Amino acid sequence: MSFSSGHSSVKSFDIVVIGAGHAGIEACLATARLGLSTLMITTNLDRIGYMSCNPSIGGLAKGHMVREVDAMGGEMGRATDETCIQFKRLNSRKGPAVRGSRAQCDKDLYSAYMTRILDAQPGLVVRQGEVKALALNGRYCEGVILADGSKVSSRAVIVTTGTFMRGVMHIGLEQQAGGRVGDQATVGISDQLSALGFVVRRLKTGTPPRLHRDSIDWTKLVEQFGDDVFYPFSLRSDRRLKLPQVSCWLGYTNEKTHEIIRKNLDKSPMFVGAIEGTGPRYCPSIEDKVTRFAEKAGHQTFLEPEGLSTESIYLQGISTSLPAEIQSEFLRTIPGLEQVRILRPGYAVEYDFIEPTQISHSLETREIEGLFLAGQINGTSGYEEAAAQGFMAGVNAARRLRDSEPFVLGRDEAYIGVLIDDLVTKGTIEPYRMFTSRAEHRLVLREDNTLERLQDYASELGLYSADELESLGRVRAAHVEMRRQLRETVLVPNEATQSALRDIGTAVLQKPITVEELLRRPDIASCDVGKFLSGDFSDPSVFEPVEIEVKYAGYIARQNEIISQTKKLEKLRLPSDLSYADIRGLSREEVEKLTKIRPMSLGQAQRISGVNPSAIQAILVHLKGRRKIRELDVELG
């Protein structure tokens, strides 16, 4: 791999990736590791993998996607483990379906790690430059046009422009072009796509002020520690943390804070109509919180270090675009921040995105072949959602060039499958954020069983080395062996067994039982039954999924029955040239939506908003009469 801030002698690549954020990194690593010559183009070589907002990875549902990307050969999980400065497992006392890992990272070390990984990747060139347009030949994308007018030819292009497409930053009523402080906006691509008929809309996101560590009175804030036990995001990482761990701190706004904000709403670009884009519902600005939740006396804010060697503190929960002087005024009303110094004020960013119903599940656009979109350009928010899409876009761009079938994950297989299906089928009118509640099959989409769900795909995709696959195989083999021993090892009520059970603190036996039956007891954990098994099953990546499968066996079985029924409709593929206008019984709205989205299957069709169950029956009748669904009677019984 090589880095270049100027022209490259090579003018032709298999793949061009626009952008060096989390989506761009996963996309270009996937294509290069699959043996395709890849060019990554970024406007700033110093901002590779840069965390524009909170330097944290994971969280509820988001942590699942990081593990899924890792299980198939992506890089975000390893980068997170290497640069973690505080780890927490969220919802650890709740059910396994809603637990999620979160890591606060050192943002500079994270960026440096990703830069080194790109630098060491054969077949990858990273060039600093600006893409002004896509090089099109009819309905085919054949490369990119740079700002100097030169063309770089390619067989596919992956666009991962983040918040930079016609990005505008707002601080108070002042506006400046850019996708984040210190970086220029990307101009030209969204205008070109709009002229080609793509629906282009505006979204808004925001970021809070960064504060100087030494100007904060930490004694007035509540210290928040990380967990003692570390669960790596990557199956290839050590179970030991690499860096010193830090605390975060909890504070609260108050009525004085809110009064200053209310008095200055006329200086907020959101409230005077200077911003037309829709902001994230689940991450509102402090202006939104104060007005929408006026009854609340205070709002939480977490003060989170941005790294081990920086004075910068991230103010989680207080995203704002008020003028800098107003930010300073209201922040000083928060206990602990009376003398605070702002290193960088908060600001809002407004940017273009492409309505995602215009892409397929492979993330290739329907109108332009060879053009893939990934990340915030598809209307998502968050590093994790971006990385997941970048990985899938990279894999599918490579498969397209090799005339292979697209790689598509089902909603029952991965949160990544839920993410992409939601975008393609439902679209979005606000920045899309992944939650566990979006997954109807979340009990089988747990963090602990990621390897079991996706290891076969890891082998198929070819992004893992033989040694890495062998290592993963050993984990799976241990998993299978533990299950076997649990089922086959019988405990009899002799003195040795009863004494062991008394030591554990559980009831003695009245009759012989298997160790699996013992593990089903609510007061028994896998660490308690290890003494009855032969071998070492102390690795959480082995015992956690086994224990959960045993304790939740009935619920999981019911979930699998529902999945089996759902798959019948997913297997009923719809012809790509199906004319919905010719189907009797469909409303005008249903015809329009089905024609626009062009669902791949009846299962996808029934998830489209506004398409009623009667429409699914009408499609079935239409296709059955024309014998366009093979073995329909077999599938539906």
Task: Name the superfamily (CATH) of residues 11-207+351-460.
Answer: FAD/NAD(P)-binding domain (3.50.50.60)
pLDDT of residue 634 exceeding 60: no
φ/ψ (deg, to 5) at 523:
-95, 10
pLDDT of residue 629 exceeding 60: no
526 neighbors 543 (Cβ within 8 angstroms): yes
Range 83-112 average pLDDT: 94
The pLDDT of residue 464 is 93
**Average pLDDT of every residue of the chain:** 92
pLDDT in tens, 179-232: 887 788 888 899 999 999 999 999 999 999 999 999 999 999 999 999 999 999
The residues pairing with 350 across neighbouring beta strands, listed in sequence order, are 168, 204
What's the CATH architecture for 572-636?
Answer: Orthogonal Bundle (1.10)
The span from the CA of 265 to the CA of 328, in Å, is: 15
The pLDDT of residue 10 is 66
All structural domains of the chain with their residue ranges: 11-207+351-460, 210-347, 465-556, 572-636
pLDDT in tens, 302-359: 999 999 999 999 999 999 999 999 999 999 999 999 999 999 999 999 999 999 999 9
3-state secondary structure of 79: helix
21 neighbors 112 (Cβ within 8 angstroms): no
The pLDDT of residue 41 is 97
pLDDT of residue 635 exceeding 60: no
What's the one-letter identity of residue 146?
L
pLDDT in tens, 235-255: 999 999 999 999 999 999 999
Q: Is the pTM value of this prediction over 0.85?
A: yes
What are the C-alpha distances in Å from 87 to residues 165, 183, 245, 436? 33, 30, 8, 20
The pLDDT of residue 2 is 59
DSSP 65-76: HHHHHHHTT-SH
* Fold adopted by 465-556: Arc Repressor Mutant, subunit A (1.10.10)
Choice among 12-26, 172-186, 530-544 with the minimum mean pLDDT: 172-186
Range 416-428 average pLDDT: 96
Structure-model confidence comparison of residues 209 and 536, the more confident one:
209
Percentage of the chain lying above the pLDDT 70 cut = 97
Confidence at 633, pLDDT banded by 50, 70, 90:
very low
210 neighbors 344 (Cβ within 8 angstroms): yes
pLDDT of residue 8 exceeding 70: no
Structure-model confidence comparison of residues 260 and 568, the more confident one:
260
3-state secondary structure of 370: coil
DSSP 483-546: HHHHHH-EE--SHHHHHHHHHHTSPPPSS-EEHHHHHTSTT--HHHHGGGSSS----HHHHHHH
Beta strands in 165-324 (DSSP E): 168-171, 174-177, 200-207, 210-212, 222-224, 248-252, 300-305, 312-316
CATH code for the structural domain at 210-347: 2.40.30.260
The pLDDT of residue 334 is 98
φ/ψ (deg, to 5) at 537:
-120, 45
